[in-house]
Every structure is written in structure tokens, then in C-alpha cells.
């Protein structure tokens, strides 16, 4: 794993090629496009001008992400056929170099610790097994057996040993010349999520909502001046990345054949819907550095209609010794009429309110799912200090073997200086559940769940009692 990290840090460092391959002439036309998915995955498309000779040749790409999924690499260029693709990760180190030097000659330089005198000899490496065994002339010795400082000098690097993992593609070109080539691959180590900041004004019943894309790059590579787009949605990549990618790859290969270089330009801003997910093209090219968390704003809505609500959800029909705080929930509608109306990719929504001095203070956070336009949002920010609910099972009676009648009492208390309404939700009604008696009118949320809106005066309490009968 360390090799990857290391290689990552130097993605942009230029090294000489260890292999004897002729490198194509540098070309300034390079266009990077990075599409990042929610789940630690990104599609990198790298369009660059390559000078490709006629015939069979190997092209090396050293600047790809070290966390590349090499099985997903596609190189396409007009008039070029792919012979094979290799991803080499035999890394150069003293250890590997010595191992590859078995049977070959090296020079050893001994330094006399007393007077600094140096003696140079030629040696053949016989074996590297828990120590290096050398043949020097007609003697067999172990390297540095005596602890005397000894340098080992190698005259060359074996071609397979590289400073960092390297992608190479062997191609067969019908003609020589410069042309645009498109290299695309999937890589791990890039992911994004949304972060929202909601400044809630309780009195005005409004909130200001800002949305940020938070992109994290630990892939090992830096993507310079890249066109960036983000895909929101749970696409089948998550369940079957391989299968999805294979389909995508076929599509891309056919596109490559028609020499359609370049990336489809997105309309700046707003999300574009592509099939079952949403694409967010970022308005400007940006550099995504290794070990970087990058945030780009994508949403800024002011005056979204919002209100605070109190909720309490019971756990069944039972008594509780201590009162429980009601949940505080921020409710708003993701619609144009409500002042919003944009797809909200999943992420964490952090809510702030102004304190007595007018300073915004954090009041809680919750994650929200991918939220399409028109959805209702209810975000729990915390629990109310002053609004509590205490349930008591007053009576449970057997009606028949499978039916029981429960009488519940909920004491809803409010220590706030203003009246509040608490939604008390009672799950647990099973077959043929019905209300026999209730002190307030209930709502049937679904087959097994009832809800009451309990109004509680300032510094007061309200008792909700009801009797239900339900089968198991």
C-alpha cells in the first residue's frame, strides 16, 4: 500500500523513462475530464495529442492514477489498434534491484574505516536469500559480513523496474503522425458528497440553503486543470461495477472509432439528467490535487419556506419511567413554489440559527437522501430540551387469543413560553387495528401507524389518551 501512496505523491514529478521506449514528442493539447461518482469511483478521460509512429509500438502513461482499475483502461485513437495493455507495478528498490542482479556483475567499493581508503572490485551476485552472496574473483563472500562500509554499484536498471506503477499500451498503427488519443479508465480514491448549510429563521419561517459539493481525492494522482462533473444517484455501479463498466466501455469504443475526440460540453450550472442519475458539470476547470478536499458551491437559495415541528415516535405500547424529549424537525418542501426546486444530492444538512447576538450557531445536522424536486424534507436537528413526552400503558386487555386492547396515556409537557404542537406517532397496530376511543382525533399514517397533533399551551401539559384494539 505504501508504494501506492508514494507513487501518488509524485504523479506530477517528471522522471526519465527507465525503459528504452522512444517517447512521443510533448504536446500541449491535453484535455482532462473527471467524472466522480458518490462511491469512491471516478471515470477519467484524458484526451491528448500523441505522435504515433507507423507499426507496432509501446506507449507508456506514467501519470495515470495509481489506484487505476487497469482492467477498465481504454485507449482509442484514429487508425490505431490495441495489441495489449499492461499495468506494471514491479517497483525499483534496493531489494528488487539486487534480486534482479543475481547472476550479473556489480562493482563493490569497500571503504577502510581507519584511513578512508577505497578498494573497488567486481563481483558476481550469486544469491539474495537472507543476505547477499557474492563471488569476487575466486572467493565467495557475504556482502558486508564484516560490517565494513561497502557500496554496491549497478550499471543499469532492468527494464521492468519502475519508480512508480506504469500503464503501457502496445498499439499497432497503420500510419505515422500526430493525432488525438483518448485514454479513459476508472479509478478508486475519488469520491464526493454534498454538504448543505441551512440558516433557519424561525420567526420568519424561512431558511437560506447553500449546497456544496465536497470532493475528496486520495487516488494518488493530481488532475490538473480538469473538467469536472459529478454524478448523483445510486446507479447500478454500486451493485455491479464490472457489468456497468463493460457496457460503458463498448459504447466508448464505438465512439472512439468515429474519432469523436473531446468531451461533451455541459451547460454551465444546473444539473443535467442523464438517464437515472444526475450529472453536475462544474462551471470552471479546476485542479484536483492529491490529498485534497475540494468544495464547490452548487446551490444558493434564499428565503425557502420552512417550519419547525416537534415529533415523538413511540416504541410500542409501553410505559416509560422518564419523560423523553421530543425530536425537533425542520420541515421544508423542495419545490419552486417553496423557493427551492432543485435535485438535492445526498449529503449532510447542517442547520444554523442566529443567537441573541445575531451570530449564526450550529443547531444540529442530519444526512438527507438523494432528493428529487417536489419532495418533502424533514430533517431532525436534535431534541427539545423543554418539550417532553411521557408514555404510560394504562391497561392492556386480552380480547381473544390474538387480539389485545391497549389503553395508552401520553403526557406531553411544554416548558417553553409559547404554545407548541407535538406530533405523537404510535406504531404497532397490526391486523385489524382500530381505534376504540381517543381524546384527540387521530390520523392514520399507514396500516400500522397512528398520529395525533397534540397542542400544548405555554408552560403547560396536555394528556393524550386512547384505546386501540389490534391483532398480532
Partner 1 sequence: MPSRGILGAALALVLVQPARAQTVSPAPDAVSITVYRDGRVDTADLYDPDSAPEGLVLVTETRTIDLPAGRARISFRGVAEGIVPQTAAIEGLPGEMVERNQDYDLLSPGALIAKSIGKTVRLVRTDRATGETVEQRAIVRSGPDGVMLEIDGELEALRCSGLPERLVFDEAPEGLTDKPTLSLVTRSPEAGRYKVRLTYLAVGVNWSADYVARIRPDGRTLDLTGWITLANRGNTTFTNAPTQVLAGRVQRDDDTRPTEVEAIALAARCWPLPGNGFARLPLLMDAPPPPPPPPRMATPVAEARVEDIVVTGSRIARQEELGDYKLYVLPDPTTVAANQTKQVLMLHEAAVPFERVYGFRVQQDELDDGAAGDDHPASVLLRLQNRKERGLGKPLPAGAVSVMEPDGGRLVLAGEDTIEDAPVGLPVEIEMGEAMDVAVRPTVVRAWTVRKKQRGAIEVAIANDKTVPIRFELAHDSGGWRRGFRIVSSSDRYAEVKGRPTWSLTLAPGERRLVRYTIEAEDE
Burial class for 158, CB neighbours closer than 10 Å (0-12, 13-18, 19+): middle
Of 70, 301, 325, 421, the residue at the interface with partner 1 (CB under 8 A) is 325
Does position 74 interact with partner 1 (CB under 8 A)? The reply is: no
- Torsion over CA of 175, 162, 164 and 169, rounded to 10 degrees? 20
State the binding string over 77-116 for partner 1 (x if CB under 8 A, else -).
--------------xxxxxxxxx---------x-xxxxxx
Of 231, 365, 410, 462, the residue at the interface with partner 1 (CB under 8 A) is 365
Picking from 442, 451, 313, 466, the residue whose alpha carbon sits closest to that of residue 389 is 313
Does position 457 interact with partner 1 (CB under 8 A)? The reply is: no
Measure the CA–CA gap between 46 and 43, rounded to whole angstroms: 10
Measure the CA–CA gap between 195 and 342, rounded to whole angstroms: 15
Of 56, 83, 86, 151, the residue at the interface with partner 1 (CB under 8 A) is 151
Binders of partner 1 in range 26-45 (CB under 8 A): 26-30
Picking from 184, 171, 166, 222, the residue whose alpha carbon sits closest to that of residue 51 is 171
Does position 62 interact with partner 1 (CB under 8 A)? The reply is: yes
Beta bridge partners of 51: 178
Rg (CA), the chain: 34
Does position 120 interact with partner 1 (CB under 8 A)? The reply is: no
Does position 286 interact with partner 1 (CB under 8 A)? The reply is: yes
Residue with smaller CB distance to partner 1, 243 or 300: 300
Q: How many residues does the chain have?
A: 472
Q: Nearest approach, Cβ of 85 to partner 1 (angstroms)?
A: 15
Q: Nearest approach, Cβ of 275 to partner 1 (angstroms)?
A: 27
Does position 61 interact with partner 1 (CB under 8 A)? The reply is: yes
State the binding string over 181-210 for partner 1 (x if CB under 8 A, else -).
------------x-x-x----x--------
Beta bridge partners of 30: 48
Does position 3 interact with partner 1 (CB under 8 A)? The reply is: yes
Does position 410 interact with partner 1 (CB under 8 A)? The reply is: no
Does position 164 interact with partner 1 (CB under 8 A)? The reply is: yes
Q: How many residues bind partner 1 (CB under 8 A)?
A: 135
Measure the CA–CA gap between 77 and 407, rounded to whole angstroms: 76
Does position 404 interact with partner 1 (CB under 8 A)? The reply is: yes
Measure the CA–CA gap between 140 and 118, rounded to whole angstroms: 20
Does position 24 interact with partner 1 (CB under 8 A)? The reply is: yes
Of 348, 425, 435, 440, the residue at the interface with partner 1 (CB under 8 A) is 348
Of 120, 247, 272, 362, the residue at the interface with partner 1 (CB under 8 A) is 362
Of 6, 235, 279, 305, the residue at the interface with partner 1 (CB under 8 A) is 6
Mapped onto helix, strand or coil, the DSSP state of residue 320 is coil
Does position 396 interact with partner 1 (CB under 8 A)? The reply is: yes
Measure the CA–CA gap between 103 and 213, rounded to whole angstroms: 56
Q: What are phi and psi of 193, to 5 degrees?
A: -150, 170
Binders of partner 1 in range 239-268 (CB under 8 A): none
Mapped onto helix, strand or coil, the DSSP state of residue 129 is coil
Burial class for 218, CB neighbours closer than 10 Å (0-12, 13-18, 19+): middle
Of 87, 380, 428, 448, the residue at the interface with partner 1 (CB under 8 A) is 380
Cell numbers found for residue 152: 554496491
Q: Nearest approach, Cβ of 347 to partner 1 (angstroms)?
A: 9
Does position 2 interact with partner 1 (CB under 8 A)? The reply is: yes
Cell numbers found for residue 142: 557475504
Does position 328 interact with partner 1 (CB under 8 A)? The reply is: yes
Q: Nearest approach, Cβ of 341 to partner 1 (angstroms)?
A: 23
The stretch among 74-82, 249-257, 393-401, 441-449 that binds partner 1 (CB under 8 A) is 393-401
Binders of partner 1 in range 412-451 (CB under 8 A): 413, 415-416
Measure the CA–CA gap between 217 and 215, rounded to whole angstroms: 7
Does position 456 interact with partner 1 (CB under 8 A)? The reply is: no
H/E element, 250? helix 241-257
Does position 154 interact with partner 1 (CB under 8 A)? The reply is: yes
Which residues lie below 8 Å from residue 63, measured CB to CB, with a gap of 6+? Answer: 11, 12, 221
The stretch among 37-45, 149-157, 429-437, 449-457 that binds partner 1 (CB under 8 A) is 149-157
Beta bridge partners of 33: 45, 227
The stretch among 169-177, 230-238, 263-271, 290-298 that binds partner 1 (CB under 8 A) is 290-298
State the binding string over 214-233 for partner 1 (x if CB under 8 A, else -).
x-------x-xx--------
Q: Give CA angle at 403 (398, 409), nearest 5°.
A: 70
Amino acid at each position: 500500500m505504501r508504494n501506492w501512496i508514494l507513487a501518488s505523491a509524485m504523479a506530477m514529478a517528471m522522471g526519465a523513462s527507465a525503459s528504452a521506449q522512444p517517447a512521443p514528442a510533448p504536446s500541449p493539447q491535453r484535455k482532462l475530464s473527471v467524472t466522480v461518482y458518490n462511491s469512491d469511483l471516478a471515470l477519467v478521460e484524458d484526451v491528448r495529442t500523441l505522435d504515433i509512429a507507423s507499426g507496432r509500438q509501446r506507449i507508456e502513461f506514467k501519470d495515470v492514477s495509481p489506484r487505476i482499475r487497469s482492467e477498465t483502461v481504454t485507449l482509442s485513437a484514429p487508425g490505431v489498434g490495441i495489441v495489449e495493455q499492461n499495468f506494471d507495478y514491479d517497483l525499483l528498490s534496493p531489494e528488487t534491484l539486487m534480486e534482479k542482479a543475481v547472476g550479473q556483475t556489480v562493482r563493490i567499493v569497500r571503504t577502510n574505516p581507519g584511513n578512508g581508503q577505497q578498494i573497488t572490485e567486481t563481483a558476481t551476485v550469486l544469491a539474495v536469500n537472507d543476505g547477499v552472496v557474492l563471488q569476487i574473483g575466486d572467493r565467495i563472500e557475504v556482502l558486508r559480513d564484516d560490517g565494513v562500509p561497502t557500496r554496491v554499484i549497478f550499471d543499469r536498471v532492468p527494464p521492468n523496474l519502475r519508480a512508480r506503477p506504469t500503464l503501457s499500451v502496445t498499439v499497432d498503427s497503420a500510419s505515422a503522425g500526430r493525432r488525438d488519443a483518448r485514454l479513459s479508465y476508472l479509478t478508486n480514491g475519488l469520491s464526493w458528497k454534498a454538504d448543505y448549510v441551512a440558516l433557519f429563521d424561525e420567526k420568519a419561517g424561512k431558511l437560506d440553503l447553500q449546497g456544496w459539493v465536497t470532493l475528496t481525492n486520495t487516488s494518488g494522482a493530481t488532475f490538473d486543470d480538469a473538467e469536472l462533473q459529478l454524478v448523483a444517484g445510486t446507479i447500478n455501479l454500486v451493485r455491479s461495477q464490472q457489468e456497468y463498466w463493460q457496457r460503458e466501455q463498448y459504447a466508448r469504443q464505438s465512439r472512439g472509432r468515429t474519432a469523436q475526440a473531446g468531451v461533451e460540453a455541459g451547460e454551465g450550472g444546473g444539473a443535467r439528467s442523464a438517464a437515472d442519475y444526475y450529472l453536475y458539470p462544474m462551471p470552471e476547470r479546476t485542479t484536483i490535487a492529491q490529498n485534497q478536499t475540494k468544495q464547490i458551491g452548487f446551490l444558493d437559495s434564499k428565503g425557502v419556506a420552512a417550519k419547525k415541528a416537534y415529533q415523538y415516535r413511540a416504541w410500542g405500547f409501553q410505559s416509560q419511567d422518564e419523560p423523553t424529549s421530543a425530536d425537533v424537525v425542520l420541515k421544508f418542501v423542495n419545490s419552486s413554489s417553496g423557493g427551492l426546486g432543485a435535485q438535492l444530492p445526498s449529503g449532510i444538512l447542517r442547520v444554523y440559527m442566529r443567537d441573541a447576538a445575531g451570530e449564526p450557531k450550529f443547531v444540529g445536522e442530519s444526512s438527507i437522501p438523494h432528493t428529487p424536486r417536489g419532495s418533502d424534507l424533514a430533517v431532525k436537528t436534535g431534541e427539545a430540551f423543554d418539550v417532553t413526552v411521557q408514555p404510560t400503558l394504562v391497561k392492556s386487555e386480552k380480547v381473544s387469543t390474538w387480539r389485545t386492547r391497549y389503553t395508552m396515556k401520553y403526557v406531553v409537557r411544554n416548558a417553553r413560553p409559547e404554545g407548541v404542537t407535538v406530533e405523537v406517532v404510535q406504531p404497532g397496530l397490526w391486523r385489524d387495528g382500530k381505534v376504540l376511543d381517543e381524546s384527540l382525533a387521530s390520523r392514520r399514517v399507514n396500516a400500522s401507524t397512528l398520529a395525533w397533533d397534540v397542542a400544548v399551551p405555554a408552560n403547560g401539559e396536555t394528556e393524550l389518551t386512547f384505546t386501540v384494539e389490534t391483532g398480532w
